[in-house]
């Protein structure tokens, strides 16, 4: 395993490469290549605060876009396996280190303007395989993840493989997202379920605000993300099917002694 502690342009004879033309960084940088032909592409204007990258296979690729707006900075632990891709959009912010894992050829995509709180996990895999003992078939294959633009993911939340989160949504504290969430929703719980639709959120904190102050202040509204929820707009959205009507048996409305007598007559 090759381990680097400096973020700068790099290429080795195994085909591993770092594409980066920004300021050389040495603090909280840990980049590990365990295979070959892996590529880490970081925009020169990306605000890297804390970065641990592990390429655990061959032909992996990680892309981190620029930071052009005031954000908390980029704090990531990224694990990229064989033939896998992690793509992080522009102006993403992380209050604490966020773990993202894409292995076995899957993709993890983080849209622009996403806000991560602390201790977040976005994982397309379960790290270890689970099998059906009768068929010996794998039950938990790795699956791709898409986190849309301007999504707020609160502390200790987990986003699992096969999930798409629509633009402008909020994932609540300690939620576990196991199925896709539409745009402009609040989803909470384990597993996460939509509890509010047609919402919008903004980054400025409420902590310093005065009571009854109007929201949003002038210039705070990101109008492109103020949209009505489209429940059909995200692949994999759960389908709620009506329960089939059941006929009520007439005997259930009779007094208990009469029901007992009817059962005796049917059995005789």
222, 150 Cβ separation under 8 angstroms:
yes
**Residue found by looking up tokens 């509204």 in the block:** 221
Q: DSSP state, 255?
A: -
Cα(163)–Cα(180) distance, rounded to whole angstroms? Answer: 5
Number of other CB atoms surrounding residue 227 within 10 Å: 16
Known catalytic membership, residue 128:
yes
List of residues 6+ apart from 250 with CB closer than 8 A: none
151, 171 Cβ separation under 8 angstroms:
yes
| List 82, 128, 150, 156, catalytic entry | 128
Cα(189)–Cα(121) distance, rounded to whole angstroms? Answer: 15
Cα(79)–Cα(127) distance, rounded to whole angstroms? Answer: 11
Instruction: Name the strands in the sheet holding 39-42, side by side, starting at the edge strand that comes first in the sequence.
Output: 10-11, 17-19, 39-42, 61-64, 85-88, 107-110, 145-147, 164-165
Cα(37)–Cα(59) distance, rounded to whole angstroms? Answer: 5
Catalytic residue numbers, as ranges: 128
């Amino acid at each position: 395993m090759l381990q680097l502690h400096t973020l700068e342009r790099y290429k080795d004879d195994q085909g591993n490469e770092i594409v980066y033309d920004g300021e050389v960084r040495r603090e909280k940088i840990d980049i590990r290549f365990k295979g070959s032909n892996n590529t880490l592409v970081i925009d020169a204007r990306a605000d890297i605060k804390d970065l641990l990258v592990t390429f655990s296979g061959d032909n992996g690729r990680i892309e981190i876009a620029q930071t052009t707006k005031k954000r908390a900075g980029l704090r990531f632990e990224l694990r990229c396996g064989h033939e896998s891709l992690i793509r992080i959009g522009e102006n993403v912010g992380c209050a604490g280190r966020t773990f993202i894992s894409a292995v076995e050829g899957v993709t993890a995509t983080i849209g622009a303007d996403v806000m991560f709180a602390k201790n977040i996990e976005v994982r397309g895999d379960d790290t270890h395989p689970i099998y059906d003992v009768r068929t010996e078939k794998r039950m938990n294959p790795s699956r791709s993840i898409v986190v849309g633009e301007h999504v707020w993911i609160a502390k200790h939340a987990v986003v699992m493989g096969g999930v798409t989160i629509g633009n402008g949504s909020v994932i609540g504290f300690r939620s576990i997202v196991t199925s896709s969430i539409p745009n402009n929703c609040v989803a909470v719980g384990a597993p996460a379920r939509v509890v509010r639709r047609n919402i919008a959120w903004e980054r400025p904190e409420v902590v310093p605000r005065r009571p009854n102050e109007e929201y949003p202040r002038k210039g705070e509204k990101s109008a492109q993300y103020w949209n009505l929820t489209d429940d059909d707009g995200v692949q994999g959205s759960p389908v709620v099917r009506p329960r089939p009507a059941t006929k009520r048996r007439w005997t259930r409305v009779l007094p208990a002694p009469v029901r007992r007598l009817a059962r005796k007559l049917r059995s005789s």
